[in-house]
Amino acid sequence: MNNTDLVKNGLKKRYLKERMFKLMGLFSIATAILFLFILLTDIISKALPAFYQTQIVLEVNIDAERLNLNTNSDEADMMNADFRLVIRDALLATFPEVTKRADKRALYSLTSMGAEFQLRDLVMSDPNLLGSTQTISFIADDDVDAVVKGSIDRHLPEKDRRINNQKLFWIDKLASQDQIQTTFNWNFFSNGDSREPEMAGIRGAILGSFYTLLVTLALSFPIAVAAAIYLEEFAPKNKFIDFIEININNLAAVPSIVFGLLGLAVFINFFSLPRSAPVVGGVVLSLMTLPTIIIASRSAIKAVPPSLREAALGLGASKMQAVFHHVLPASMPGILTGTIIGMAQALGETAPLLMIGMVAFIVDIPQSVTDPSTVLPIQVFLWADSPERGFLEKTSAAIMVLLFFLIAMNAIAIYLRKKFEKKW
C-alpha cells in the first residue's frame, strides 16, 4: 500500500472528526444561547403577573361620625382617623352572614393593609367625600391576588394551601358579583419598598440607582477622561507611569466586593460618611468603573490620527490646545460609549453596595444623594430573600426593569458608536 492509499483510507475518519469538531463548536454556542433564552423566558414568565394587580370593588359609606371626623377636620385629624373601620363595614355589608370574631378577622384581611391609606388619601384630596357612599377599588391582599392570578393551586388539600376554603368561597362570591377586577399595577412604579408584597414598589430603588449613578458619573467621567488624556498624550516614559498603568490594569480585575471593603473601611469608618447613602455608593462605584472608562477613553484617543495633532501643532497651537481643541472632541464619541458601558456596569453592581449598608429596608423614597436608599440590584436581592410568594413575581419584575435600563443604555451606546464613528 502506498502513501496515497494510506491517506485516502484515513480520509473518512478525518472528515468525520472534522464534522464532530464543528458540531462541538455549534453545540457550545447553542448552549450559551439556549441558556440565555431559558433565563429570559423564566424571568419574564415569572414577572408578568406582577404588572397586574387584583382589586376588590367595595361600596364604602364614608361615614364621618364613624371616622370621628367632620367637615372642619384638619389634616392631622385625617391622619389619625381609622379608615379601616369603614372598609370593614363595607366588607361586612357584602357578607352579612359573617359574625364570629375569627371569621371577621379573616374577612378583613381580604383587602391589603394599604387599603386604608388609599381611602385616606382619597378623602384628604377631596373632603367633600365625607358622608357620601362611594364605589372604590381597593388593593387586594397578596393571597387574594395569588388566587385570582391562579398562582395558588385551589385543588390542593386545604392544609397545604396558603388560603383556606372560607376565603376561597368569599373570593369566588366577590368574583361572581363582579367585585374583583384586575388593573395595571401602577403602584409597582410609584411606591417604595414595603413588607406587604401588594404594596411594594421600585420607585425608591430606581431613584436610589439614579442618584448613585449621578454621583458615579460626576466623579468618574472627568477623572477618567483626564487620566486617559494624560496617559495617552502627556505621560513621559518612566517607572512611575508604568506603575500607574499596571495599577489601572489590575484594578480592572479586582473583585468588586473588595471595593466594597475599601468603601466600608475608608468612607464609612474613617471619614464617617453616612451609611446607605447614594453619595458613598457613587464614590465606591466610580472607583470601580474608573479603569473601564480610562481604558475605553485611551483607545478612543489613540484612534485619532496623528495628522490631526500635527496639523494643529503646525499651525502654532500648543500641545495642550491641540489636545483639548482637536483630539478630545474627535474622540468624544468613543469616550462617551465607554462611559455609558461603564455606567451600565455600575448600575448592575450589587456586592460593593452591600458592604456599605445600602442593603437596609428603606420605605421612604430618597430625595437627595445623602438620603438612605437602596438600588435596583439590591432591591432584587432583598426581595429574592423574602419568603412571601408575592415577592417572587416582584423580584422578577424588578429584574425586568433593571434589564430594560441596561438594554436602553447599551442601545444608546451602540447608537452613538454607529452614528459618530469615524473611519480615519
111 and 56 Cβ atoms separated by less than 8 Å: yes
**Residues 154 to 183 in contact with other proteins, rule: CB under 8 A:** none
Q: With respect to other proteins, which residue has the nearer C-beta, 27 or 117?
A: 27
Binding mask 38-77 for other proteins (x = CB under 8 A): -x--xx----------------------------------
**Residues 269 to 288 in contact with other proteins, rule: CB under 8 A:** 269, 271-272, 287
List the strands of the sheet with 180-184, edge to edge.
133-139, 52-61, 180-184
Task: Kindly indicate which of the ranges 7-15, 108-116, 138-146, 201-209 contains the residues binding other proteins, using the contact rule CB under 8 A.
Answer: 7-15
Task: Kindly indicate which of the ranges 60-68, 102-110, 192-200, 260-268 contains the residues binding other proteins, using the contact rule CB under 8 A.
Answer: 260-268
Among 107, 136, 206, 262, binds other proteins (CB under 8 A): 262
Closest approach, Cβ 47 to other proteins, in A, equals 11
Whole-angstrom CA distances from 253 to 72, 108, 212, 239, 300 are 65, 55, 22, 22, 21
Q: With respect to other proteins, which residue has the nearer C-beta, 208 or 357?
A: 357
Among 9, 35, 156, 310, binds other proteins (CB under 8 A): 35
- Rounded distance, CA 28 to CA 32, Å? 6
Residue 329 interacting with other proteins (CB under 8 A): no
**Residues 215 to 244 in contact with other proteins, rule: CB under 8 A:** 222-224, 226-227, 229-231, 234-235, 243-244
**Could you tell me which residues come within 8 angstroms of residue 282 by beta carbon, excluding any fewer than 6 positions away?**
211, 212, 213, 214, 215, 216, 218, 219, 369
- Rounded distance, CA 122 to CA 144, Å? 23
Q: With respect to other proteins, which residue has the nearer C-beta, 2 or 125?
A: 2
Residue 258 interacting with other proteins (CB under 8 A): yes
Residue 351 interacting with other proteins (CB under 8 A): yes
- Rounded distance, CA 283 to CA 220, Å? 8
- Rounded distance, CA 67 to CA 82, Å? 6
Q: With respect to other proteins, which residue has the nearer C-beta, 67 or 248?
A: 248
Whole-angstrom CA distances from 322 to 65, 251, 277, 312, 327 are 78, 30, 41, 5, 7
Closest approach, Cβ 241 to other proteins, in A, equals 8
| Residues belonging to the chain | 424
Residue 295 interacting with other proteins (CB under 8 A): no
Phi and psi for 52 in degrees, rounded to 5?
-115, 155
Whole-angstrom CA distances from 292 to 16, 248, 266, 285, 336 are 44, 9, 22, 11, 12
**Nine-digit cell string for 327:** 483630539
Residue 291 interacting with other proteins (CB under 8 A): yes
Among 359, 365, 369, 397, binds other proteins (CB under 8 A): 359
234 and 319 Cβ atoms separated by less than 8 Å: yes
Number of residues that bind other proteins (CB under 8 A): 84
Among 64, 110, 115, 294, binds other proteins (CB under 8 A): 294
Phi-psi region of 288 (alpha: psi -120 to 50; beta: other; left: phi over 0): alpha
**Residues 376 to 415 in contact with other proteins, rule: CB under 8 A:** 377-378, 380-381, 384, 392, 395-396, 399, 402-403, 406, 410
Residue 25 interacting with other proteins (CB under 8 A): yes
Residue 206 interacting with other proteins (CB under 8 A): no
Q: With respect to other proteins, which residue has the nearer C-beta, 311 or 360?
A: 360
